[in-house]
Amino acid sequence: MVSETSEREMDPLVKPWWKVGRLAVVGVAKNCGKTTTLNAMIARRRPEPLGLVSVGIDGEQADVLLGTEKPAIAVDEGHWVVSAEQALGRSTVPLEYVAPLGVSSPMGPVMVARALGPGEVILAGLRHRGDVVKALEALLARGAGPVLVDGAYGRVVGAHPEVAPAIVMSTGAVVGSVEDVIRRTHDVVDRLTLPVVESEMWREALAAARRDKRAYLVEDDGELRELPHASGLLGLSQGRRLWQKSTAGVVVPGLVSDRVIEELLAVGGPRTRTLVVGDGTALHPGGRLWRRFRRSWEVRVGHSSRLLAISFNPTSITGARLDEGALREALEARWPDVPVFNPVDPGDEARIIQGT
């Protein structure tokens, strides 16, 4: 009998997380335990020259909203980081400043640095996807691997497939009940791991929308029909009369908000239509509206992410606590093919190390 681990090792399409190259750790909500998860992953690959970047600010000692203590990001000798100069100056880790990244920030120029010993680091200064990609390229060029992207709360750009093709999702009791955790986690995972569009017709439509920077209605025969305005929201609201029985759906090159989803739901009709966007980070509707939309519309993306694992924190920063066994069981039942782990549970060490 072949063990589960052996089967995974035999499959060339499945890699442990430290061989992925670029990996984002993303939180379902603030204070889910994302930084704790990141530290657990760092600790278990400590001898390797990991790279670390963050979208937003991470590693600060106190939560800026609640004023409560937060875990710092712990690094070791040989690890690489990209962060703003002032943030690095507040870090306790001894650093060698290797090169400027060529990106400015309110906290000073962003630097590429290497840890000369163990300590704690504050990551800050990267706010845009292009800056993060530039940081990743700089770290990979210096032999860092894997590079972990700490996707600060509200910055789903960290999960953009161009930034990191694989993600670890952090969730937990701060979201609410076990049922709330499953529902909210599903909403985020669903958007980031949507199926990639396979039809040549839709791929060409998405390419045209990106090139022209405007949304298009797409007919069954592939014809693109312009909306009255380049903006997806304004174009859809002004162009309801343009929908026909032969309209297969719409392609939107930018962000999709609640208002855009509401406009699409207002179209109605008996047929199932398709929405195509660049990737799941472009989708920003509320959870309830998103679930309603998914019942009547197909959604496809140009690029998708792979969910590597789910970490969970059964304790909320407010003091509430969920039954750890019940939460783990519910997460494993919903995602049976994805490792689920508590980053502070010693019994979960093998799951973190294997990470497939």
Mean pLDDT for the stretch of residues 76-95: 94
Local confidence band at 31 (pLDDT 50, 70, 90 cut-offs): confident
Higher pLDDT, 8 or 87: 87
pLDDT band at 138 (very low <50, low <70, confident <90, very high): very high
Nearest Cα neighbor of 29 from 216, 142, 129, 155 is 155
Identify the pLDDT of residue 19: 76
Predicted local distance difference test score (pLDDT) of residue 2: 32
pLDDT the model gives residue 277: 96
Q: How confident is the model at residue 179 (pLDDT cuts 50, 70, 90)?
A: very high
> What value does the mean pLDDT take over residues 37-58?
82
pLDDT in tens, 300-311: 999 999 999 999
Query: 93-117 pLDDT, tens per residue?
Result: 999 999 999 999 888 999 999 999 9
Q: Region 268-279: what's the mean pLDDT?
A: 91
Q: Specify the residue for token string 């000073």.
A: 108
Task: Indicate if the alpha-carbon torsion angle 282, 247, 290, 258 is positive or negative.
Answer: positive
Amino acid 348: pLDDT: 83
Q: How many whole angstroms separate alpha carbon 106 and alpha carbon 343? A: 33
Are 67 and 163 a contacting pair, CB within 8 Å?
no
Backbone angles phi, psi at 324, to 5 degrees: -60, -40
Residue 341 in 3-state DSSP? strand
Question: Residue 287: enclosing H or E segment and its boundaries?
Answer: helix 287-294
Residue 332 has pLDDT above 80, yes or no: yes
Model confidence band, residue 71 (pLDDT cutoffs 50, 70, 90):
low
Look at residue 319 in the predicted model and tell me its pLDDT.
87
What was the pLDDT predicted at 328?
Answer: 97
User: Would the pLDDT of 63 be above 80?
Assistant: no
Average pLDDT across the chain, whole number:
85
Determine the pLDDT at residue 11.
35
Q: What is the per-residue pLDDT for 197?
A: 95
Output the pLDDT for position 163. Answer: 81
Q: All domains of the chain, ordered by start, with CATH?
A: 4-193+305-354 (3.40.50), 200-301 (3.40.140)
Assign 355 to helix, strand or coil: coil
More confident call, 152 vs 345: 345
Q: Is the pLDDT of residue 1 over 80?
A: no
Look at residue 130 and tell me whether its pLDDT is greater than 90: no
Q: Give how far Cα 344 sits from Cα of 40, 187, 229, 297, 349, Å.
A: 7, 25, 51, 40, 9
| Cis? peptide before 100, omega within 30° of 0 | no
- Give the DSSP per-residue string, 190-208: HHHTPPBP--HHHHHHHHH
Question: Is residue 188 a contact partner of residue 28, using CB atoms and an 8 Å limit?
Answer: yes
Most trustworthy range by pLDDT among 39-48, 53-62, 155-164, 205-214: 205-214
Q: Answer whether residue 195 shows pLDDT above 70.
A: yes
Q: Quick one: pLDDT at residue 9? A: 35
pLDDT band at 62 (very low <50, low <70, confident <90, very high): very low
Between 126 and 196, whose confidence is greater? 196
Q: What is the pLDDT of residue 7?
A: 34
Q: Which has more pLDDT, 347 or 285?
A: 285
SS3 annotation, the chain: CCCHHHHHHHCCCCCCHHHCCEEEEEECCCCCCHHHHHHHHHHCCCCCCCEEEEEEEECCCECCCCCCECCCEEECCCCEEEEEHHHHHCCCCCEEEEEECCCCCCCCCEEEEEECCCEEECEEEECCHHHHHHHHHHHHHCCCCCEEEEECCCCHHHHCCCCCCEEEEEEEHHHCCHHHHHHHHHHHHHHHCCCECCCHHHHHHHHHHHHHCCCEEEECCCCEEECCCCCHHHHHHHCHHHCCCCEEEEECCCCECHHHHHHHHHHCCCCCEEEEECCHHHECCCHHHHHHHHCCEEEEECCCCEEEEEEEECECCCCCECCHHHHHHHHHHHCCCCCEECCCCHHHHHHHHHCC
The answer, yes or no, to whether residue 84 has pLDDT greater than 60, is yes
- Which of the four pLDDT bands, split at 50, 70 and 90, describes residue 69? very low
Question: Taking Cα atoms as reference points, which of 196, 136, 188, 195 lies closest to residue 26?
Answer: 188
The residues, any chain, with a CB within 8 Å of residue 178's CB and separated by 6 or more, are 322, 323, 326, 327, 330
CB 105 within 8 A of CB 43: no
